[in-house]
Amino acid sequence: MMAETQLAILFTSIALVVIGLYAAIFVDNIIKKIIGISFIEEGANLFIVGIGYKAGGIVPILMPNMNTTWFASNASYPLPYGLVLTSIVIGASTLAVMLSLVMVLYKKYGTLSTKEMLADTSKQEEYNE
């Protein structure tokens, strides 16, 4: 049976992914697109955190005086947390690269609108100069 908390996590992550997809596909402003992409990434991370959740469980750190059988049956599953930690670092790197590219493009076009960027091809020559 899925715990209530786990169900709440699942629905929240679905909402984050859907909102993020909407922003990434339909919103014109490139910064808002990137915020949407962050939503998708965080939705995926939240979902994986939810997998490791155990109702009434304890933090998965084995202390010296703990009974290992009791620990195994009560601790939450630690693998997803390790994975999410890595995924957050990757997400931050991706975000940094995207934002640095946006900075360059903003200097070139003077706008954050993707439609205006696509329409304005004359800026390339000015930028090259």
Q: How far is it, in rounded angstroms, from Cα 38 to Cα 34?
A: 6
Of these, 7, 62, 72, 79, which contacts another protein (CB under 8 A)?
79
Binding segment toward another protein, per CB under 8 A, in 58-66, 67-75, 99-107:
99-107
DSSP class of residue 77? P
Binding segment toward another protein, per CB under 8 A, in 56-64, 65-73, 77-85:
77-85
φ, ψ for residue 60, nearest 5 deg? -80, 65
Question: Are residues 86 and 111 in contact, defined by beta-carbon separation less than 8 angstroms?
Answer: no
Site residues, another protein (CB under 8 A): 17, 21, 24, 30, 33-34, 37, 40-41, 43-45, 47-48, 51, 77, 79-80, 83, 86-87, 90, 93-94, 97-98, 101-102, 104-105, 108, 117, 124, 128
